[in-house]
Amino acid sequence: MVSRAGCGFLLATVLAVVCAGSVTAVPPPPPNPSESDIAAASAQVDGVLGQVGALINQVASANEELQRLDDEVATRREDVNKALVDLQDARDAAATATAAVGTAQQGVTDASTQIDQAQQRFDKSAARTYTQGSDAASIASYFGAENPDEVLDRAQMLALTSKSQQAVLDGLQRARAEQANKASAARQAKQDADTAAAQAQTQKDAAEQAIAAAQSALAQQNSRKSELQRSRDAAQVQLDAARADVSGLQGQRDAYTTWDGQRREEAAAISALADTAKQIAITAAARVAADQAQRDRAAELAAGQRPHTTLDEDDDDAPAPPPRKRSLPKLPSVIGPAAVEIVVDRGMSQLGVPYAWGGGDENGPTKGIRDGGVADAHGDYNKVGFDCSGLMIYAFAGIGISLPHYSGYQYTAGEQVPADDMRRGDMLFWGSNGSQHVALYLGDGTMLEAPQSGDVVKVSPVREDGMMPYVARLVP
């Protein structure tokens, strides 16, 4: 059994071996050259070397442009995630405003009913007064007054009663007017919410168009790079052949023998360490499966939530789902080193799970969605897996923390800590305000990530190039 403390060192060792690079096997040796053949080959080496150098520089420039386009595509993907979240919020606001209009309109109806009832009572009272007379003598006779003073007193009572009824009517009229104003304000709020929802839909469409344009440029650049690589490889073949002639058969064989021995040693070491890394993942998965409390916390967060990626599947004729507020990150229900290890265990338990753009929630991997480009080309919409922000949602759900499915929002979810002070369990980000990518720091210069379409959840060396200067710390 591998301890948690040893996981970081072992994974770092695996990465150090894997990232050290591989050696290319030398082709079969040519016949033993003569002096004139060696001289001719040396001249050929000089000529081809310049050609290869120029092509290598062009390929390097193409790689830089591809990296820039990759970054742009990553940003556009997260822009779509953001637009989906904002669209859901706008639709929820519209649903809330619709309910408010109904409540306000019901208030107007209720106030009108009360006014009608009060008016009927007032009319009946007035009718009785009219039929029984309005002078002091008839009123005194109606009330059975025994002297003039009592007649005057009762006449005053009748006047006060009439004024009181009129005051009630006036108050109800004012209440109805206030309710009407509220209904008008609620209708305006609904109109504003509908407008915001339409704008959010427009922004989502624009984001999807932007990612399509970026992916088109990326495809063109990939095509240009492939052409350069074919030219470079052809020139390299010529260079290798010329160098083989110059170096001689025995030198080639000695170099190959040395390299082959190193390759075998490295392969054996990588195989052994890979088995150890696999055991680490299995052990982490076993701890996650055995910890019912963290699974209950994740299930509680997931209950009633609707994945933002289902918005495109809405049927306009279907009844709108009940609005829900996007939950904000809160203090974890478990803190300290124990919480960090729960987060790491949950993440590590998913090693090898496919990347699926838009995939992943509090309970685990989910089916990906279409992006109209790279993700579709890799079939992400038919895969069950995680994207970068979905993996973080799953990892932190085990300690009761709910995260939005957008790396830019996750960047502001916790305490901002300088990257130089990062520690195990912190989230690392790339792109402006974390808008391109997010990963989980494991320690020893390694991180856990769901990198990109066509890849899997894996442990990688921390890439400082392009990384945000601050990390997000959710566990105190």
Q: Enumerate the active-site residues.
A: 388, 437, 449
Tracing tokens 């060696």 back to the chain, one arrives at 38
CA distance 390 to 281: 19
CA distances 381 to 308, 376, 458, Å, are: 15, 7, 20
Length of the chain: 476
CB 395, CB 347: distance < 8 Å: yes
CA distance 417 to 46: 53
CA distances 472 to 285, 311, 427, Å, are: 25, 28, 5
- Angle among Cα 362, 363, 366 to the nearest 5 degrees reads 95
Quote the distance between the C-alpha of residue 442 and its chain's center. 21
CA distance 189 to 343: 42
- Between strands 415-418 and 458-461, the pairing is unpaired
CA distance 229 to 214: 22
Please provide residue 475's backbone torsions phi and psi, each rounded to the nearest 5 degrees. Answer: -105, 115
Residue type, 156: Q
CA distances 385 to 275, 281, 352, 371, Å, are: 23, 16, 10, 15
- Computed from CA positions of residues 150, 156, 159, 160, in that sequence, does the dihedral angle turn out positive or negative? negative
- Between strands 415-418 and 470-473, the pairing is antiparallel
Q: How close are the terminal C-alpha atoms of the chain, in Å?
A: 29
Which DSSP string corresponds to 314-342?
A: --TTSPPPPP-PPPPP---SS-HHHHHHH
Q: Could you count the other beta carbons within 10 Å of the beta carbon of residue 104?
A: 20
Dig out the tokens for 474 from the structure. Answer: 């959710």
Rounded-to-10 torsion of CA 207, 210, 216, 217: -140
